[in-house]
Structure 1
Amino acid sequence: MLNDLGGQGAISRAADFIVIGAGTVGLPISVLLARKTGATVICLETGGLRQEEDTHPLNEVVQQGMFYKGASHGRFRCLGGTSMRWGGALIPFQNSDLCNAHWPISLDELTPFIDDVERLFSLEPGPYSDVSFPFELGGTHVNRLAKWPEFRKRNVAALLDADVAAAANLQVWLNAHVVKIKTQTEGVRLEAVSPNGDRLAISGRKLIVAAGAIETTRLALLIDRQNNGAVSALTSALGHNFTDHISAEVAEIVASETALLNKIVGFRFGAAGSMRNIRFELAPQAEARRHLPPGFCHIGFEVEKPGGFDVLREIFRNVQRRKSPPPRVIFDLIANTPWLARAMWWRLVNKRLLFPAHSRLIVHAVVEQLPSPNNRITLSDTCCDRFGLPLAEINWRLSKEDKENVIETSELFRRTWRTSKFASLGVWKSIEPQQIWANIDNAEGIFHPTGSTRMGACPADGVVDKNLNLFGVANVQLLATSVLPTGGGANPTMMLLLLGMRCVNQHAAGSTPPKA
């Protein structure tokens, strides 16, 4: 059931599970907890039904160090959260990404839940690599394929609309901003406030904070403050080691066999509108893994002149946001009929997205930022949100070693390109090193925040244990990309969803049947 706290006055509710955040992972686990455990679930979303603007006032932060753009532009407060704008790439990390970084959990503990994620988003089953890739890449790189849901299934609010409405034991509350969290041995007590001052008091057996990396970290810091420093008394890691992936354009490919290259590296269409794209990650056995953090290279395109691709992208992004495209799109489609006709032929025959007209092929290197305790999220001493709670203060910087790792990742893939059959498909033209350095210096992150509430085997190593339980307080779990100890060599959303599915499974396994 969907509710809005606005206009409710002062009310109280009780539930077995309370979930903060109705976004990419919060809404799915709320639905699944209600379905699989039979328990009562309350999901609190600080935003409303939709967020029309690119930024939200409650995402204001205090910036220290380098500017971190993901603090404002990578976050959305509404039903569905960031999934209303999310690109959609889903791919698990490689096992070597975890074991080399001493994660307290193995990939084998998460892979059983890949099928659950694929069913949720109607993804094609199968490996996350191209097993029929046409040539060898040597021992340094492996090809890997991310899976992308079709646009209308990327927004979990649209995907789970009927499930939310049908679940009698699930309440989703909009415009419910959590201002107080008190933990006790027997459960938790929360207070949420609407923009109009309506108040919702909730008691629950278990709290799961799934509000995105930055907000989950801020709430964990508030839980620590509002519970007499119970977390910080055990661990010094809370808020520290805030990282992102670093991405930079490193080369241009001048294609000599454009059609064949398009077939190899172009976006691939699957069943029911799903997509896949290929990237080239460090191989598990690569010698470079001894000193280089995980990363990958992928080939994208830079459109020099707007055309049919831009029209299609606008249409599908509106579908994802549950909006109608503007009327002018009809005229734009007519104006770009020649490219659209060719693109349709490519989709039907080659099952690929045709490279846009007037575009350049660009190689991007994406590298895990090295964790540093100096990169951190704290609570501001001077600035508060409209509800009187301290803003998150982000102190984030790239190190010289981070920049050097991007350069080396690029150089490794350049060698693979020039020593493989890629060389016959196009010429690698490196971007000048000083320009790459400038690109890195101007990097603002790519909205893959991790690390600030990291998992650890014990409080000396992290903020939550391998089962996401917050050290120092009872009955609280954190479920955001901030619990990932490192950024890995791929987009982090799949790992977050796998952790969420595992969390639901653990609660279902330990639950008792609901009373008749």
Structure 2
Amino acid sequence: MLFDFAKGPLTPEQQYDVCILGAGAAGITLAIRLGRAGKRVALCEGGGLDYEDDSQEIYAGQTIGDPYFDLDIARLRYFGGSTNHWGGYCRSFEPTDFNRGYLGDDFRWPISHDDILPYLAEACEIVEISSDYRDRLVDEELGLRQVDFKYSPPVRFGEKFQAEIESSKNIDLFLNCNFTDLTGADRRVRSVKLRNYADQDLEIRANSVVFAMGGIDNSRQLLWMERLHGGSFFDRDLPIGRYWMEHPHFIIGEALIKSWDQANLYFALTEKMQKALGIMGCGVVVEEQGDSTTKRLIKDLLCVAPGVGAWAADLAGKKLICSYRFQAAWEQAPNRENRVALSDRAVDRFGVPQSELHWRKASIDRETMLASTQQFNAFILRENLGRLQLRDWVYQGDEYPDDDILAGYHHMGGTRMSYSPRYGVVDGNCKVFGAENLYVAGSSLYTTAGYNNPTLAIVQFALRLADHLVKVV
């Protein structure tokens, strides 16, 4: 059933099994799974069914550090969340992503890849892709492989599941309900307090509560609860907001390559090579460009290397060579200093401090991109496939350009999983350390980021959390 708080006061009298705060990919997946299992669910969304400025402005904030997007345009705040504008690129974590302990305790997950693998097929069905991923080893010595990405239509979660949620006897969807506080004691949440844009209040009682408000606001709201209530609901001094991660995205160069069968290809290094080089995961996207770019690159090559340029010009005349753009998208190492904090200068309309995002790329982040690129370039040269021209900033070690792609709009970490409250906020079951019934869903719980787009794994983790909650509530 659907309740729109924008239309006037609401007074729900029943006790819910689970109250979920946030109706994006994580929240909707979790609600659907729990509802189908017979659990009574309150799904609370701060926005409505469509975009509204009143809701979106709650995401305003400030970034300190490297150039980044304005926080109120980097995500969407209405039913369906950021799936209302995601691109549909789908790939989940790989086994190696859960085996980074060799880089330090900050990199250690409390679970393994096998713990989320059983949910891959169902997650793929939800986003409407095949679960048959087919990677291919290209060169074992150089540790190079071609990886398979799938493409969702893309599925808009709000559109896909609205009818089922509205007709469900077990799920109540509350729109225009903005989280303001928790009530309870002795580490147990009793109810959730919500407010609409007319400053009317609503209280929902639930046996368990899940924060599914996104990769920035999960941290912001937990920090706010800590400031208001100290250790009433969870352990004090958890690293809330810390280890925040993104996927840096930059165009790293162009190349003249003997024509491939596919227009766009995606390459990465094997687990063995990543460990040997001491780096994280990096994907190199190879995108075919037009004839005008091919001609320009050949002209440049003739000026600096006439022999190679003549070779390329001959192949181009026979339509045997093309120009390609190389874009890198890579995994950022978890860094405790990259964090979501509460602003001491600005609050939203409900009195909650705005987000202050501290984000910088570290030396290992650059090395991950550079070492991966060098391995790929070595393969091109050894096989005499063509020539790769890297951007000056890449090989000269200059500052990252601020007019490039910058990042993937992928907000990860901040309420990360860990085996210890020293390094994380939630345990292997997504429960906040020290809490009795407070959980987190979404990419904010990622311990490491992989180089994969986060949505498919968000769905896997939500399905896994639902199975856990079915057993305990």
TM-score interval, smaller chain: 0.7 to 0.9
* Aligned 1:211-230 pairs, distance under 5 A: 211-230=213-232
CA distance in 2, matches of 1:304, 1:18: 56
Contact 2:235 2:435 in 1 (8 A): no
Q: Quick one: which amino acid aligns to residue 193 of structure 1? A: R
With over 3 angstroms needed to count, the CA separation of the structure-2 counterparts of 1:408 and 1:393, relative to structure 1, is same
Does 2:453 correspond to 1:494? Answer: no
Q: Tell me which residue corresponds to 1:129.
A: 134
SS at match of 2:389: strand
With over 3 angstroms needed to count, the CA separation of the structure-2 counterparts of 1:57 and 1:412, relative to structure 1, is same
Taking only the aligned residue pairs, the percentage that are identical comes to: 23
Contact 1:234 1:459 in 2 (8 A): no
User: Deviation string for 1:331-369 (max 9, x for gaps)?
Assistant: xxxxxxxxxxxxxxxxxxxxxxxxxxxx96311122222
Cα distance, 1:300 vs structure 2: 3.0
Match for 1:450 among 380, 387, 412?
412
Cα distance, 1:405 vs structure 2: 3.1
Q: Tell me which residue corresponds to 2:312.
A: none
Cα distance, 1:252 vs structure 2: 0.9
CA distance in 2, matches of 1:124, 1:175: 35
Match for 2:356 among 368, 372, 393?
393
Does 2:253 correspond to 1:247? Answer: no
CA distance in 1, matches of 2:67, 2:139: 40
Cα distance, 1:432 vs structure 2: 2.1
Q: Quick one: which amino acid aligns to residue 357 of structure 2? A: I
SS at match of 1:47: coil
Contact 1:377 1:452 in 2 (8 A): yes
Cα distance, 1:433 vs structure 2: 3.4
* Aligned 1:286-305 pairs, distance under 5 A: 286=273, 288-300=275-287
Cα distance, 1:223 vs structure 2: 2.2
Q: Tell me which residue corresponds to 2:109.
A: 103
Cα distance, 1:52 vs structure 2: 6.8
Q: Tell me which residue corresponds to 1:345.
A: none
Q: How many residues align?
A: 434
Contact 1:244 1:448 in 2 (8 A): yes
Contact 2:442 2:461 in 1 (8 A): no
Does 2:262 correspond to 1:264? Answer: yes
Q: Tell me which residue corresponds to 1:89.
A: 89
Task: Compute the RMSD of aligned alpha carbons.
Answer: 2.7
Cα distance, 1:136 vs structure 2: 4.3
Contact 2:63 2:357 in 1 (8 A): yes
CA distance in 1, matches of 2:19, 2:35: 11
With over 3 angstroms needed to count, the CA separation of the structure-2 counterparts of 1:300 and 1:226, relative to structure 1, is farther
With over 3 angstroms needed to count, the CA separation of the structure-2 counterparts of 1:193 and 1:298, relative to structure 1, is same
Match for 2:143 among 127, 140, 143?
140
Does 2:268 correspond to 1:281? Answer: yes
Q: Quick one: which amino acid aligns to residue 292 of structure 1? A: I
User: Deviation string for 1:193-248 (max 9, x for gaps)?
Assistant: 11122322111000111111101111111222232245785444111111211122
With over 3 angstroms needed to count, the CA separation of the structure-2 counterparts of 1:88 and 1:188, relative to structure 1, is farther
CA distance in 1, matches of 2:183, 2:226: 10
CA distance in 1, matches of 2:263, 2:397: 23
With over 3 angstroms needed to count, the CA separation of the structure-2 counterparts of 1:419 and 1:494, relative to structure 1, is farther
Unpaired runs of at least 5, structure 2: 101-106, 293-321
Contact 2:62 2:70 in 1 (8 A): no
SS at match of 1:281: strand
CA distance in 2, matches of 1:235, 1:299: 44
Does 2:467 correspond to 1:466? Answer: no
Q: Tell me which residue corresponds to 2:391.
A: 431
CA distance in 2, matches of 1:436, 1:491: 27
With over 3 angstroms needed to count, the CA separation of the structure-2 counterparts of 1:287 and 1:201, relative to structure 1, is closer
With over 3 angstroms needed to count, the CA separation of the structure-2 counterparts of 1:66 and 1:139, relative to structure 1, is closer
SS at match of 1:477: strand
CA distance in 2, matches of 1:436, 1:296: 20
Contact 1:464 1:477 in 2 (8 A): yes
Q: Tell me which residue corresponds to 1:343.
A: none
Cα distance, 1:442 vs structure 2: 5.5
Contact 1:213 1:482 in 2 (8 A): yes
Q: Quick one: which amino acid aligns to residue 248 of structure 1? A: F
Contact 1:113 1:502 in 2 (8 A): yes
Q: Tell me which residue corresponds to 1:173.
A: 174
CA distance in 2, matches of 1:458, 1:406: 30
Cα distance, 1:381 vs structure 2: 1.9
Contact 1:63 1:393 in 2 (8 A): yes
With over 3 angstroms needed to count, the CA separation of the structure-2 counterparts of 1:231 and 1:445, relative to structure 1, is farther
With over 3 angstroms needed to count, the CA separation of the structure-2 counterparts of 1:367 and 1:125, relative to structure 1, is closer
SS at match of 2:424: coil
User: Deviation string for 1:102-134 (max 9, x for gaps)?
Assistant: 2111000110000110221222231x2245x7x
Contact 1:42 1:170 in 2 (8 A): yes
With over 3 angstroms needed to count, the CA separation of the structure-2 counterparts of 1:93 and 1:184, relative to structure 1, is same
CA distance in 2, matches of 1:478, 1:190: 15
CA distance in 2, matches of 1:232, 1:376: 19
* Aligned 1:46-65 pairs, distance under 5 A: 46-51=46-51, 56-65=56-65
User: Deviation string for 1:241-285 (max 9, x for gaps)?
Assistant: 11211122112133442xxx2x3353xxxxxxxxxxx52122011
SS at match of 1:110: helix
Q: Tell me which residue corresponds to 2:17.
A: 16
CA distance in 2, matches of 1:304, 1:22: 45
CA distance in 2, matches of 1:298, 1:247: 10
SS at match of 2:63: strand
Q: Quick one: which amino acid aligns to residue 412 of structure 2? A: T
Q: Tell me which residue corresponds to 2:445.
A: 483
* Aligned 1:17-32 pairs, distance under 5 A: 17-32=18-33
Contact 1:244 1:368 in 2 (8 A): yes
TM-score by length of 1: 0.78
Q: Tell me which residue corresponds to 2:71.
A: 71
